[in-house]
Amino acid sequence: MKKLLAILMALTLVVCLCACSSDSSTDNGGGTAKADFKVGVITIGDDTEGYTKAHKDGIRAAAKTLGLADSQIIWKENILENAGCSDAADELAAMGCKVIFSNSYGHQTYIAEVAKKYSDVTFVSMTGDFAAISGISNFKNAFTSVYQSRYISGVVAGLKLKELTEKGTLTKETQPGSFDKNGNIKVGYVGAFPFAEVVSGYTAFYLGIKSVCENVAMQVTYTQSWFDVEKEGAAAEALIADGCVIIGQHADSTGAPAATEAANKKGTIAYSVGYNVSMLEVAPNAALTSATNNWSVYYTYAIKAVMDGKAVDTNWAKGYAEDAVSITELGTACAEGTAAAVEAAVKGLKDGTVKVFDTSKFTVSTEQAGVTVDADKHVTSCKVDLSYYDYSTGSPVVVYQGDTVETIADGAFEESVHRSAPYFAIRIDGITENEIK
Amino acid sequence: MSNSTRIGREPLIRISKKDVAPWWQKAVVRVVALIAALVIDAIFIYLFTKMNPLDVFSTMFKGTFVFDYGTTFFINKLLRTLRDMATLLCIAIALAPAFKMKFWNIGAEGQVLMGGLATACVMQYFGDSLHTPALFMLMLTASIVAGAVWGFLPAFFNAKWKTNETLFTLMMNYIAIDAVACMTNIWRGDKSAMGTINQATQAGWFPNIFNQRFTLNLFIVAALMIIVFVYLRYSKQGYEISVVGESENTAKYAGINVKKVVIRTMIISGAICGICGFMTVAGKDQAISTATAGGYGFTAIIVAWMAKFNTFYMAIISFLIVFLEHGASEIANTYGGLNDYAASVITAVILFCLIGSEFFLNYSIKLRKGSKKEA
């Protein structure tokens, strides 16, 4: 009996294997009628996780705008960055999806492999960084210019600092720990990883504060995780204990705002600037605002382009000009006149009179690869290599060769112009990175 | 004590051990358990979501069997279920000798990760310098050694100083997880995710056989299934394992070197886990992360126990569990109202009922005779 079973099992395996030898290419060609149009979506989490929810909301809004029914969108949730991602992409393409999105950075290597197999399907790896140099024509990347909304959220924080000092609430007497030895007000930032994406974000935030309140110094603490309530909370607590008055964040949980709220309630002068979602629920007294993305702008554009049979941008990055980024509702703690100042700053970004990474607004004193500065320590040139590397074997190995480009033009660093994913990684004066524990 | 008057009276419910149930009885009990589980699930689904439970069940079925998109699609989907089943089965096979010996190896997760990590290391550092056959041999050897070491350590300490193997193997998991996290952080460099290993050269990736990279995995596990079955059932060492499992004293009396058997068996157990790590990294993911074992190191314990260490039954149970798992994610993807957690409840109820039904196969329940009179 058991031997028979064994033979049967072995046979089944063999038969299954042989049966699958036929190739799985699609035979659909040309335009698709609107009712048959299908969109595939691969997400790292689900609606219970803020980052994915923001993407899903964007897709749902896009579908509504474009008149797509629920059944025309096929979701693949909780897909990790492993073979499960290839499975999901392959399945969605085989089910007839004409455009397939994945929302996590680490999905891209898997998506790129599947994209090679289905040349008539458009694959978009959100936040990915090698579509343009991969040579796969139906593989795309997109990112918002979120540094712009971080800059604006910095303006909100700067106005608060200005109000606190002008009203005499925050002085060297009331909260002495909040000033460094040069008399700068201390600001803190909870970042996930020391990557360009985070560096670009906190530098924009810092420059936003500085545009309103000149004498600030910022410390950044990395949590080495995109989502860790406890670590982010602990990092915020440590920063507040050191005297930081504003706690910004580039990590996905509510840990930092919650910790700031707790300190605020105890009477410490501390305020929070969040990310992705409004933090007013967890920090009604301490939250000023949050920098956020309006993903629906991109999703509407990309889905419509595919429906119309047009090509999707290989590197899409839009900011305030297209309403792709914004800040959330202003908290009651915000300084008077914040709304008007924000409006003015946003207008400046839109018409180009305000540039986030204006080289006259910051200095660089440390030696950094590819960065050249003048006598006043203002950056005059910054060369960025856009190649995609494999770092694993000790020395970086090029996977996809990209150009090395000059990123300084018209007196400003051009972020998200040469590639949608951020590449600003200059460490500027006034910001210190706390050592990783 | 008031119940002293009750001495000598029969209790209301009496549970007694049963003889081995005939096959038809086993089948009936299991089918009844499955039906009961589906009914409970149906009630759960209806109460919490007001959806038609039959629709939900048919969606669940589609996690593995899809007929709507042609044969290729059907086969590919089924093969993915078989691939995950092979991974789970491989770990269960690895656990079988240890559990049969009553050595509670809770460390399969870590043993798989260490095997995977060893494979990944070889792929990273020798991917360019070694020829394909040599590279694969080194990957396989490294993974076996890494897994075996992770199995050997708790066994050695247990044999030598009677340390608690459950805690020891469990703790070894965390070391393995952090070792993997540490290495992936290094290998990731400036990127926020590591991606696939040797993306450009594909060195150390399993060959595409029948259009799938994981084809070899299925063959490896099928072979292991047969080998371990024979090993446990017909070899002298397999016999020693079952004697040690039944009673250590008997084993000692019979002249079996218990320490040697314990250590040897755990090395085998760890080594097979290492092979699982090898084929997961090289055949399935072409990458490594702390999620490489995906919790299967723990799920496999249920598989090994439910199958009573018979590797062929393990295949059936692995299939069932992966089928349920894929069904659950299909449900979560299809219905907005039923997320992953709700879907997990549905599969958990099924497993609970199936495992619970074992009780009725092993024990019979007798009510006290004439209990009505007392009412």
CB-CB neighbors (< 8 A) of A227 in chain B: none
Contact B222 A9 (CB under 8 A): yes
The single-letter DSSP state of residue B212 is B
Token couple for A306: 């595919």
Determine the pLDDT at residue A31. Answer: 44
A245 inside domain? yes
Distance CA B333, CA A391 (A): 35
CB-CB neighbors (< 8 A) of A80 in chain B: 289, 291
| Low-confidence winner among A331-335, A340-344, B6-10 (lowest mean pLDDT) | B6-10
Determine the pLDDT at residue A3. Answer: 54
pLDDT, tens digit (0-9, with 9 covering 90-100), for B301-358? 989 988 888 999 999 999 999 999 899 888 888 887 677 787 788 888 988 998 888 8
Contact B193 A106 (CB under 8 A): yes
- In this structure, what CATH number is given to the domain that contains residue A273? 3.40.50.2300
Distance CA B99, CA B77 (A): 32
Tell me: pLDDT of A155 over 80: yes
Full domain range(s) for residue A382: 146-295+307-312+317-433
Contact B80 A87 (CB under 8 A): yes
Closest Cα in chain B to A79: B329
Contact B75 A20 (CB under 8 A): yes
Token couple for A167: 């009203």
Angle of helix B311-334 versus helix B215-234 axis, rounded to 10: 140
CB-CB neighbors (< 8 A) of A76 in chain B: 333
Q: How many structural domains compose chain A?
A: 1
Closest Cα in chain B to A88: B77
Show Cβ contacts of residue A22 under 8 Å, excluding neighbours closer than 6 positions: B71, B72, B211
Distance CA B73, CA A57 (A): 29
The pTM is what? Answer: 0.82
Query: Can you say whether the dihedral through the CA atoms of B156, B158, B162, B168 is positive or negative?
Result: positive
The shortest CB-CB distance from B312 to any of A2, A392, A398 is to A2
Distance CA B275, CA B93 (A): 11
Q: State the smallest CA–CA distance between residue B280 and chain A in angstroms.
A: 9
Q: State the smallest CA–CA distance between residue A85 and chain B in angstroms.
A: 9
Contact B193 A224 (CB under 8 A): no
Distance CA A191, CA A226 (A): 8
The shortest CB-CB distance from B339 to any of A22, A47, A76 is to A47
* DSSP H or E stretch at residue A374: none
Determine the pLDDT at residue B367. Answer: 78
Q: How far is CA B324 from CA A75, A247, B30, B281, B318, in A?
A: 19, 44, 16, 24, 10
CB-CB neighbors (< 8 A) of B196 in chain A: 109-110, 113
Distance CA A133, CA A394 (A): 23
How are beta strands A408-409 and A404-406 bridged, if at all? Answer: unpaired
A257 inside domain? yes
Token couple for B131: 């020829």
* Mean pLDDT (whole number) for A381-402: 85
A348 inside domain? yes
Determine the pLDDT at residue B337. Answer: 66
Query: Can you say whether the dihedral through the CA atoms of B191, B197, B202, B203 is positive or negative?
Result: positive
The shortest CB-CB distance from A83 to any of B185, B226, B284 is to B284
Contact B211 A392 (CB under 8 A): no
Contact A78 B332 (CB under 8 A): yes
Q: State the smallest CA–CA distance between residue A3 and chain B in angstroms.
A: 10
The shortest CB-CB distance from A391 to any of B188, B289, B339 is to B188
Closest Cα in chain B to A196: B190
Closest Cα in chain A to B186: A392
CB-CB neighbors (< 8 A) of B226 in chain A: 6, 10
Whether the Cβ atoms of residue A222 and residue A436 lie closer than 8 Å to each other: yes
Please report the ipTM that was assigned to this predicted complex: 0.79
The runs of H, that is alpha helices, within A20-140 are: 50-66, 83-94, 108-117, 131-134
Q: Among B285, B296, B330, B334, which would you mutate to test the A interface (most chain A Cβ atoms within 10 Å of its Cβ)?
A: B285
Token couple for B330: 């299909």
Closest Cα in chain B to A193: B192
CB-CB neighbors (< 8 A) of A197 in chain B: 192
Tens of each residue's pLDDT in chain B, 375 residues: 445 555 566 778 888 887 777 888 888 988 999 999 999 999 988 888 788 889 888 988 998 999 888 888 999 999 999 999 999 999 999 999 999 999 999 999 999 999 999 999 999 899 888 899 999 999 999 999 999 999 999 999 999 999 999 999 999 999 999 999 999 988 887 777 788 888 888 889 999 888 888 999 999 999 999 999 999 999 999 999 999 999 989 999 999 999 999 999 999 999 999 999 999 999 999 999 999 998 999 999 989 988 888 999 999 999 999 999 899 888 888 887 677 787 788 888 988 998 888 888 888 888 776 555 444
Q: DSSP string covering A315-355, please?
A: EEEE-GGGT-EEE----TTSPTTHHHHHHHHHHHHHHTSS-
Burial B63-87 (b: 16+ CB within 10 A, else e): bbebeeeeebbbbbbbbbbbbbbbb
**Cα end-to-end span (Å), chain B:** 23
Distance CA B184, CA A106 (A): 13
Closest Cα in chain B to A46: B339
Question: Which residues pair with residue A389 across a beta bridge?
Answer: A398
Contact A391 B339 (CB under 8 A): no
A384 inside domain? yes
Closest Cα in chain A to B310: A2
Contact B291 A80 (CB under 8 A): yes
Q: State the smallest CA–CA distance between residue B85 and chain A in angstroms.
A: 12
A127 inside domain? no
Neighbour count for residue A230 (Cβ, 10 Å): 12
Q: State the smallest CA–CA distance between residue B284 and chain A in angstroms.
A: 6
Contact B329 A78 (CB under 8 A): yes
The shortest CB-CB distance from A392 to any of B124, B210, B225 is to B124
pLDDT, tens digit (0-9, with 9 covering 90-100), for A278-311? 999 999 999 999 999 999 999 999 999 999 999 9
CB-CB neighbors (< 8 A) of B80 in chain A: 87
The shortest CB-CB distance from B333 to any of A75, A193, A391 is to A75
Listed in order, strand segments (DSSP E) in chain B are 13-17, 363-367
Closest Cα in chain A to B181: A224
Contact B312 A74 (CB under 8 A): no
Contacts of B64-72 with C-beta under 8 Å, sequence gap 24+, read: B64/B322, B64/B323, B64/B326, B64/B327, B69/A94, B69/A95, B69/A96, B71/A19, B71/A22, B72/A20, B72/A22, B72/A23, B72/A24, B72/A94
